[in-house]
Structure 1
Amino acid sequence: MPIPFSPVLWLLALCVLIQLCYVGYYFLPFAARSAAAGAEPADAAGGPVSVLVCAHNELENLRRLLPLLLQQDYPPGFELILIDDRSGDDTYLYVQQLTQYYPNVRLVSVDRTPDGLSPKKYALTLGIKTARHEQLLFTDADCIPATDQWISQMQRGFARPADVVLGYSAYAPEPGFLNKLIRFETLLTGAQYLSFAWRGKPYMGVGRNLAYTRASFRQTKGFASHIRSLGGDDDLFVQDAVRCGLRVTVQAEPAAHTISEAATTWGAWWRQKRRHLSAGRSYGLADRLRIGNFIGANLLFYFTAVGLLFSQPDWVPLAVLWGVRTVAIWVAYARLGRRLDDQLPVAWIPLLDVVYFFYYLALGISLFLYRNLRWK
C-alpha cells in the first residue's frame, strides 16, 4: 500500500530541491575551485593603488589598522587615505603625526555632512576625489588585513580584467554562541555574493574589502543614485556597476581577506544587520528573486517540517528529507569554510542554520515595521 503523501510533504520536498540546486550550482562548485585556479602570475598586481579608510571616532581601531596597512608588501607602491568623518576624538592628531613620517599617508577631514546625505557616502566621495591613483581599495577602520599580501592579492583581481573586485571579510573567532552565529551568517552571506558573482551574477560586495577603479566610480556617477540612503556604499554601488555593464570579479583567496571583531552583544549585531539589510530593497528584481528564493526556501522548509511533526504518516519521508538537506548543507558549508579559511565547528552547523534563518525573518519583520536607521 503506497504511503499517503500529503501536499505539505510535496511542498517540503520542493523546498529541499530548491536548496539542493543552490548547493549544487553555486556553493559546491565555488568551494571546490582551488586557490590556484585562475590565479594570476606574481607580476600581475598592476600599478600603484589608493587605499581608503573612512573613520568616525575610531582612534583605537586606527592605531591597530594603520601600522598593518603601512607594512603591506606591495612593490608598485600605494597611498593611504584616511577620511576623518566628523570625529570627536584625536583621530586628526594621530593621522597628522603619521603624515610627518610616511609621505604616502594622506588625511581628508570632513567637518559636516550636508543635510539629507549619507555621512559615509559623502565622506567616501571626498576621499575618492583626492585619490591620486586609478585603482581604489577600501576597508573599514575596525578591520585588519589577514596578511601583508592583502593589497597585492586584491589588486590582482584587476588583471582578469575587471572594473570591480569583490573580497571576503571574516570575523575573528571568539568564545560564545553569538560569535559562532555571526561567523555563520558572514560565511553564508559570503557564499552567496561570491559564488553568485563567480557564476556571473554579481549583486553586492562588502565595504570592509572591496576594490574598484576611479573610472567605475565616474561611470556609475558615484553614489548619486542612493546618496540619501544610509547604507549601500558597497552593495548598491555594485548594483549600479552591474547596470552600467562593468566587469565584476571575485578575489577570495585567504591572503586577500580582511578580519574584523564581531559584535559582542545581540543588540549591537541587530542594529548592524538592520543597517545592512535595509539596502536590499534597492536591489534589482532578478537579484531579489535569487536571494529571496534561497532564504524563502529555507524558512518554508522549517515551517513545513514543524507542521509535519504532527502528521504521523509523514514522519518517515520527513526524516528522509530532513536528513538529505542536513547532509547537503553540512558538506557545502564545511567546504565553503575551508575554501574561505573561515571554518566553524561542523557539529554546530545545523543549529546555527536554524537560528540564523529565524533571526533573518525577525530582522525582515523589524525593517518592515520600523525603518528608522542611523550611521554612527
Structure 2
Amino acid sequence: MFWLLLLLTIFWTGILVDFLIGLKKIPSMDNVEADEMDEFVSVIIPAKDEQESIRQTIMSLLNQRKVNLEVIAVNDRSEDQTGAIMKDLAEVYPNVKMMNIEHLPSGWLGKNHALSCGVSAAAGTHLLFTDADIKFESQALAKALTYMKEKELDHLTAAPDLRGNSFLLRGLISFFLFGFNYLKRPWTANLKNNKGGMGVGAFQLLTQDCYQSIGGHEAIKMRPDDDLALGMRIKRKGYRQNLVTALNSLSVEWYPNTKAALRGFEKNAFAGLNYSIPLALTALAGVFVSHLFPFLFLFSPVGAVQIISGLNVVLLFYLYALSTKRLTTYPLRLVFALPIFALLFVYMLARALVLTWIRGGIEWRGSRYTLKELKQHFRNNEED
C-alpha cells in the first residue's frame, strides 16, 4: 500500500505543477474595459421547457450596452409556456426573432439541431451560443467582443458563476470542476497550437466564418457534449481560441437540486468517457483509489503509510482549493468535504453508466438516442 500511495503522491505533485502553470493561463474578462463595438452579433438560444428562466435571459441580453445584437430564440418542441413567452417578446422587441421547432429529424440531438436552425436565421458577423437560463451583466457581451478583438480570436468561450442553492450542489460543482481540470486541462484553449481546446455551453462567441468553416453543428450533431466538442473542433482546425472566466459577468443555476443534477449527469457522463466501457471502469476505479484511499489509510497502524497518506491528503486539499478559488465564488471551507463529494461523484458516475448501458443509450428532454448511433457519430467526429 505504501508504494501505491507513493505513486499517488508523484501523480498529484505532477498535477499540482500543471495546475499552478495552467490556471494562470485562464484570464478573467470581468475587468475588461468594454469598448463601443460595431460588430453585429446573433445570439442564439435553444430552449425546451424553459418557461421559468427564458424571459430573464432574453431581457438581460436586450439590456446589453455598447453592442449591436439580435436574439434568435429557438423553441424546441416545448410543452410549457416557453414558446408563448418567446412570441410575446418577439412582438414587443424588433431585434428578437422566434423560431418554432415541432419535429426532431433523425440523426440529431435536440439542442444541436435547434442551434443549427438558429444559425440559419442569423444575420450577424458573430454568433453567440448560450443557454436559456443564463443571466448577463449589462456589458458582458461588449467585454467579450473587446477581449476577442484585442486578442484577434476566432472563438471565445467563458466560464460563468455556477450557482448552487445547497452545500451539496456547490460541493458537486466544485468537485466536478476539480476533476475536469486535471482530465481535460481547459487552459489548452489558450495555447498556440491545435491540441486540446474548450467550449462552455453558457457562452460560446465565434465568428460566422469560423463556424461555417468547421462544418457547424452538422459535424457534431449527435454529441451530447456539444459545447466541448465544438470548442475542440475549432482548435483542431487551427482557429484562435481562448477560455476566460466571467464570474461577475455571467451566472447560471447549475441545477435546481441534486435529483436534477443526477439526471443531467446521465446525458454527459458516457460521452465524456468516449463511450468506452473499459475507460469508464478505469475512471470509476481511478477516482475511488486516488481520492479516497489517502483518507482511508490516514488511520493505518504503519507510520510510513500514515505519513504518505497525509501528504496525499494535503495535496488533494490544495489542488481542490486552487480549482475552487479560480473557477467559482464558493467559500474554501468546501474543500474539507472532498471525500464526501468524491463518494457522491463515484455514485453518480456509476449510476449514469449503468443506466446508459441498460437503456442502450440516453434519454434527454423527451427524446431517446441509442448508444450505437452516439458511438458512430463520435467516431466520425474524431476522424474528421
TM-score (norm 1): 0.81
Tell me the residue number matched to 2:206.
Answer: 212
Q: 1:28 to 1:293 in 2, by over 3 A?
A: farther
How far the C-alpha of 1:138 sits from its partner, in A, is 1.8
Matching of residue 154 in structure 1 with residue 144 in structure 2 = yes
How far the C-alpha of 1:79 sits from its partner, in A, is 0.9
Tell me the residue number matched to 1:100.
Answer: 91
Higher strand share: 2
How far the C-alpha of 1:82 sits from its partner, in A, is 0.4
Tell me the residue number matched to 2:172.
Answer: 181
**Contact 2:294/2:313 (<8 A) preserved:** no
- SS at structure 2 position matched to 1:169: strand
Q: Distance in 2 between matches of 1:17 and 1:156?
A: 41
Matching of residue 194 in structure 1 with residue 183 in structure 2 = no
How far the C-alpha of 1:28 sits from its partner, in A, is 2.5
Q: Distance in 2 between matches of 1:144 and 1:248?
A: 23
Tell me the residue number matched to 1:67.
Answer: 59
Tell me the residue number matched to 2:342.
Answer: 354
Match of 1:54 among 46, 64, 74: 46
Q: Distance in 1 between matches of 2:114 and 2:292?
A: 44
**Contact 1:165/1:211 (<8 A) preserved:** yes
Match of 1:321 among 305, 308, 313: 308
Tell me the residue number matched to 1:375.
Answer: 364
Match of 2:71 among 44, 59, 80: 80
**Contact 2:9/2:308 (<8 A) preserved:** yes
**Contact 1:51/1:80 (<8 A) preserved:** yes
Matching of residue 280 in structure 1 with residue 272 in structure 2 = yes
Tell me the residue number matched to 1:265.
Answer: 258
**Contact 1:50/1:79 (<8 A) preserved:** yes
Tell me the residue number matched to 1:3.
Answer: none
User: Which is further off, 159-168 or 346-355?
Assistant: 346-355
Matching of residue 248 in structure 1 with residue 241 in structure 2 = yes
User: Which is further off, 64-73 or 254-263?
Assistant: 254-263
- SS at structure 2 position matched to 1:339: helix
**Contact 2:165/2:257 (<8 A) preserved:** no
User: Which is further off, 186-195 or 60-69?
Assistant: 186-195
Cα RMSD of the aligned pairs, angstroms, is 3.5
**Contact 2:48/2:78 (<8 A) preserved:** yes
Q: 1:256 to 1:135 in 2, by over 3 A?
A: farther
Tell me the residue number matched to 1:342.
Answer: 329
Q: Distance in 1 between matches of 2:23 and 2:305?
A: 28
Matching of residue 166 in structure 1 with residue 157 in structure 2 = yes
**Contact 1:149/1:255 (<8 A) preserved:** no
How far the C-alpha of 1:250 sits from its partner, in A, is 1.1
Q: Distance in 1 between matches of 2:329 and 2:285?
A: 25
Match of 1:11 among 4, 11, 21: 4
User: Which is further off, 37-46 or 186-195?
Assistant: 37-46
User: Which is further off, 42-51 or 112-121?
Assistant: 42-51
State how 1:79-158 maps to structure 2 within 5 Å. Answer: 79-145=70-136, 147-158=137-148
Q: Distance in 1 between matches of 2:54 and 2:70?
A: 16
How far the C-alpha of 1:179 sits from its partner, in A, is 4.2
Q: Distance in 1 between matches of 2:37 and 2:321?
A: 31
Q: Distance in 2 between matches of 1:331 and 1:271?
A: 30
State how 1:19-30 maps to structure 2 within 5 Å. Answer: 19-25=12-18, 27-30=19-22
Q: Distance in 2 between matches of 1:46 and 1:16?
A: 52
Q: Structure 1, residues 303-339: CA drift from partner, whole Å, max 9, x if none?
A: 6547857964xx3233223322332333333333333
**Contact 2:186/2:197 (<8 A) preserved:** no
Q: Distance in 1 between matches of 2:142 and 2:112?
A: 26
How far the C-alpha of 1:128 sits from its partner, in A, is 0.9
Give the unaligned 5+ runs of structure 1.
1-7
The residue identity in structure 1 corresponding to 2:71 is L
Q: Distance in 2 between matches of 1:148 and 1:250?
A: 20
Q: 1:132 to 1:141 in 2, by over 3 A?
A: same
The residue identity in structure 1 corresponding to 2:14 is C
**Contact 2:32/2:143 (<8 A) preserved:** no
Q: Distance in 2 between matches of 1:163 and 1:87?
A: 32
How far the C-alpha of 1:272 sits from its partner, in A, is 0.5
**Contact 2:77/2:103 (<8 A) preserved:** yes
**Contact 2:288/2:343 (<8 A) preserved:** no
Tell me the residue number matched to 2:319.
Answer: 332
